[in-house]
Amino acid sequence: MSALLRGIVAYPITPFTSKGRVDEVLLGKIVDDMVKAGVHAIAPLGSTGVLPYLSDDEREQVAEIVIKRVAGRVPTLVGVSSLTTERTVHHAKHAEKLGASAVMIIPMSYWKLSDAEIITHYDTVAKRIAIPIAVYNNPATGGLDLSPDVISRLLKIQNVTMVKESTGDVNRMHRLVQLCGEDVAFYNGSNPLALAAFVAGARGWCTAAPNIIPKLNIELYDAIQRGDVAAARQSFYRQLPFLQFIVAHGLPRAISAALELQGASVGPLRAPLQALPAERVEELRRILVGLEVIPGE
């Protein structure tokens, strides 16, 4: 089965009301803004969407809101990871039922999993749903590092068709191409690696940046598509300070602060996560003014 995703895969945050409930209205608006700006896919319940901090009910609620609001205009890639296989199957089936285009799974780890455990985990979920699965490798958050070799084995499972690589090491992508062939559907999940990954053959860029700068993200992708290295490099270095900032300070904290600077009211982060400290917000403001995302003073 061929992969259905390409280009800018946008990860919305999960906004909350002042009482700490999921803010359905604002979530819908964020998603709608992204689609209208031209992103190529929407991925709710990622790290940016604070998936692990939500209850099972909240996860189902977010998936439903986003899929309904996207309404088929672009594909949806829904995060369904859980620590146990049983809960992962549960969420994957639910996402499929809601009409998700595909699901994304990171093997969340407390005890480091063996290769056999990882493969059985994916295989068990894959057998229970018919839509495509994207493997997600992000040792910095998930605590487990999937080697290119393990990923290549996962990609042999029937409906496991894509991989999001977030180690930030372009050599991992080279290895995937060498192991799986140049048609392997790999996606870059490390924002500052966007340029290098596209040139290495990445089919898409999984990123929270379109919450704030979707046009710039799309501009970079388009430049690569038409083979204009100079324009791609210029676009990349222009947005790089913003990309570095959101990675350095945690995507939910940084994206929430940026939306607040744009006038949105995204509510409190879920504890123990806290809002970005004031001096960091000021630093972020300067970056956003430089990008003409918010007006300078």
Q: Please, are residues 253 and 278 in contact by the beta-carbon 8 Å criterion?
A: no
Q: Is the peptide bond preceding residue 272 cis, with omega within 30 degrees of 0?
A: yes
- Is 265 a binding residue for a copy of itself by CB under 8 A? The answer is no
Tell me which residue has tokens 């602060």: 257
- C-alpha dist (Å) from residue 162 to 134, 137, 146, 202: 4, 11, 14, 11
Q: Which is nearer to a copy of itself, 75 or 189 (CB)?
A: 189
Which member of 228, 265, 282, 286 binds a copy of itself (CB under 8 A)?
A: 228
- Is 86 a binding residue for a copy of itself by CB under 8 A? The answer is yes
Q: Which is nearer to a copy of itself, 161 or 190 (CB)?
A: 190
CA geometry: angle at 146 spanning 140 and 151, to 5°?
140
- Is 222 a binding residue for a copy of itself by CB under 8 A? The answer is no
Q: Which is nearer to a copy of itself, 104 or 113 (CB)?
A: 113
Find the shortest distance in angstroms from Cβ 47 to a copy of itself.
7
Which member of 227, 263, 295, 296 binds a copy of itself (CB under 8 A)?
A: 227
Burial 255-276 (b: 16+ CB within 10 A, else e): bbbbbbbeebebbebbeeeeeb
Of 220, 197, 199, nearest to 209 by C-alpha is 220
The answer to whether residue 127 is catalytic is no
CB atoms inside a 10 Å sphere around CB 93: 15
- Is 268 a binding residue for a copy of itself by CB under 8 A? The answer is no
Q: Which is nearer to a copy of itself, 157 or 200 (CB)?
A: 200
Q: Please, are residues 195 and 244 in contact by the beta-carbon 8 Å criterion?
A: no
- Is 291 a binding residue for a copy of itself by CB under 8 A? The answer is no
Annotation-wise, does 48 bind a ligand? yes
CA geometry: angle at 49 spanning 2 and 236, to 5°?
70
The answer to whether residue 136 is catalytic is yes
* Residue of 36, 93, 127, 136 marked active site: 136
User: Which residues make up the interface to a copy of itself (CB under 8 A)?
Assistant: 47, 50, 52-53, 83-86, 107, 110-114, 116-118, 120-121, 124, 140-141, 143, 168-171, 174, 177-178, 182, 192-193, 195-196, 199-201, 224, 227-230, 232-233, 237, 240-241, 250-253, 270-274, 277
Residues serving a catalytic function are 136, 164
